[in-house]
């Protein structure tokens, strides 16, 4: 059974940092591109970042470029999102999703709240 | 940047057919994916590559894409289909995934 489990969310002050993790199991993680998608309270889905299977290709949404860094460790079947210089508008549930070719599997999400 | 436009809401009676549109400039030249999201749950892929269904998705769900509009069609709608639906495309000009704003499907 495919499982994606996010962790690392929580309450952080504006300007602070958080590192999200996504633990994958039940599939060959190293063969799949991965993404982070977020959803602000009561709002729609917003794509955040993409990383290819080998980490050779990385893309970011304009809203997070220069502040967030996506990475992965295929040996640990894990995906990460380092979030720096957090803003109020980054408050959201963050999902990791595998891509083949659409976002076929999603985690349950982890809530990030940016507030003073 | 590429924009996908969905109606905020669609209502349909049980047993009828619901059609949810996704508008975008020449979207027919792109591959469209559709997701269903129920309250408090993660999204679920229901249609990929315009009209393909993942395993486990009922045949009642179908999709089409032509010109400037992609459409998700749900036949014989059931109460359990009530959810938010999102379309998605890859914008190769900016190397970004794009989601539509989402459509809330209400089963009357």
pLDDT tens digits for range B48-72? 999 999 999 999 999 999 999 999 9
Which H helix or E strand runs over B58?
none
**Are B45 and B34 in contact, with CB atoms under 8 Å apart?**
yes
CB A48 within 8 A of CB A28: no
Q: What whole-number distance in Å separates Cα of residue A8 and Cα of residue A49?
A: 17
Token pair of B3 as six digits:
């924009």
Q: Name the residue facing B43 among A45, A50, A61 (closest C-beta).
A: A45
Q: Rounded CA gap, A66 and B13, in Å?
A: 47
**Does the beta-carbon distance from B43 to A106 stay under 8 Å?**
yes
Contact A101 B95 (CB under 8 A): no
Q: Distance between CA atoms of A86 and A103, rounded to whole angstroms?
A: 26
Chain A nearest C-alpha distance from B35 (Å) = 9
Residue B8 CB neighbour total at 10 angstroms? 9
Tens-place pLDDT, residues A41-87: 999 999 999 999 999 999 999 999 999 999 999 999 999 999 999 99
Distance from C-alpha of A12 to C-alpha of A80, rounded to nearest angstrom: 18
Cβ-based contacts of B31 with chain A (< 8 Å): 101
For chain B, residues with pLDDT lower than 70 are: none
pLDDT band at A15 (very low <50, low <70, confident <90, very high): very high
CB B100 within 8 Å of CB B41: no
A98-115 average pLDDT score: 97
* Partner-chain contact B48 A102, CB within 8 Å: yes
Contacts of A104 in chain B (CB under 8 A): 45, 48, 54
Best probe of the A interface among B42, B86, B94, by most A CBs < 10 A, is B42
Can you tell me the distance from the alpha carbon of A32 to that of A52, in angstroms, rounded to the nearest whole number?
7
Question: What residues contact residue B46 under an 8 Å CB cut-off, 6+ apart?
Answer: B34, B35, B36, B53, B54, B57, B61, B72, B85
Res B61: pLDDT: 98
Question: Who among B1, B45, B97 is closest to A104 (CB)?
Answer: B45
d(CA B51, CA A9): 35
Indicate yes or no: CB of B86 within 8 angstroms of CB of A44: yes
Q: State the pairing for strand pair B9-12/B103-107.
A: parallel
Extended strands (E) in B1-108: 9-12, 18-23, 33-37, 44-47, 61-66, 69-74, 83-91, 96-99, 103-107
Query: Cα–Cα distance between B56 and B44 in angstroms, integer?
Result: 11
Q: Which of B47, B57, B97 to mutate to test the interface with A (most CBs of A within 10 A)?
A: B97
Tokens of A38: 């977020």
């Amino acid at each position: 059974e495919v499982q994606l489990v996010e962790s690392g969310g929580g309450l952080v002050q504006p300007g602070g940092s958080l590192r999200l993790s996504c633990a994958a199991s039940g599939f060959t993680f190293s063969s799949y591109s991965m993404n982070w998608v977020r959803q602000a309270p009561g709002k729609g889905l917003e794509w955040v970042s993409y990383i290819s299977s080998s980490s050779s290709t990385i893309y970011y949404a304009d809203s997070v470029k220069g502040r967030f860094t996506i990475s992965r460790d295929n040996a640990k079947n894990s995906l990460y999102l380092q979030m720096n210089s957090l803003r109020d508008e980054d408050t959201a549930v963050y999902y990791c999703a595998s891509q083949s070719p659409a976002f076929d599997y999603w985690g349950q999400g982890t809530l990030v709240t940016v507030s003073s | 940047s590429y924009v996908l436009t969905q109606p905020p809401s669609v209502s349909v009676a049980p047993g009828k057919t619901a059609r949810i549109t996704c508008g975008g400039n020449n979207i027919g030249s792109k591959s469209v994916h559709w997701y269903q999201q129920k309250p408090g749950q993660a999204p679920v892929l229901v249609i990929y590559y315009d009209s393909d269904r993942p395993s486990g998705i009922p045949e009642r769900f179908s999709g089409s894409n032509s010109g400037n509009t992609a459409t998700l069609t749900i036949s014989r709608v059931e109460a359990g289909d009530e959810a938010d639906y999102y379309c998605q495309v890859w914008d190769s000009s900016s190397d970004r995934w794009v989601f539509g704003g989402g459509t809330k499907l209400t089963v009357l």
